[in-house]
Amino acid sequence: MVADAGAFYARLGIVAPARTASTLRLLADQGPQSVTQIAQRLKQSHPLVITWIRQLAKLGFVSSSVDPADRRRTLVSLTDAGGDEARRMAAALERLGRAYESVLEEAGDDVFGALCRIAERLDKGGLEGELRRDES
């Protein structure tokens, strides 16, 4: 399912790593944030968030600047390209959610049987099949 999601992102022209989606979303929704704020809000470690910020910066999706209210702090902001990527990622995540829901509808009350049916359905077309069906 993860490979299908990666292929789906690539088909939509999304280049940001999927693991950075929450960072893009946070910055799009709440504006510039310090790394500490991002880590706290996403409940992730400071070093992990720094890794994500570096990845996004290399792609041109975020920039850093000194906080005018506290020159000791650095704020991370979305660039215009980052805002575009955040919008593409949000739309893709909505579609992925619908595809997952469609696959998981197989569950019903019989969890073991449902897992078998889900595995069979994914073997037939994978999440990619659900995503393509959603495009129709």
Output the pLDDT for position 3: 65
Instruction: Note the pLDDT tens digit of each residue in 48-88.
Output: 999 999 999 999 999 999 988 888 889 999 999 999 999 99
What's the pLDDT score for residue 128?
78
CATH number at residue 75: 1.10.10.10
Phi-psi region of 74 (alpha: psi -120 to 50; beta: other; left: phi over 0): beta
Residue 130 in domain: no
Does a structural domain hold residue 127? no
- Specify if 114 maps to a domain: no
Give a yes or no: residue 28 inside a domain: yes
Model pLDDT for residues 61-72, shown as the tens digit of each residue: 999 999 888 888
Full residue range of the structural domain in which residue 26 is found? 2-102
90 is a domain residue: yes
Domain count, the chain: 1
* Contact criterion met (CB below 8 Å) for 88 and 12: yes
C-beta separation of 121 from 100 below 8 A: no
The Cα–Cα gap between 113 and 94 comes to 27
31 band by pLDDT with thresholds 50, 70 and 90: very high
Confidence class for position 102, pLDDT limits 50, 70, 90: confident
Question: If pLDDT is split at 50, 70 and 90, which confidence band does 1 have?
Answer: low
Half-sphere exposure at residue 23, Cβ-oriented, CA atoms within 13 angstroms: 31
Residue 132 covered by a domain: no
Residue 109's pLDDT is what?
A: 63
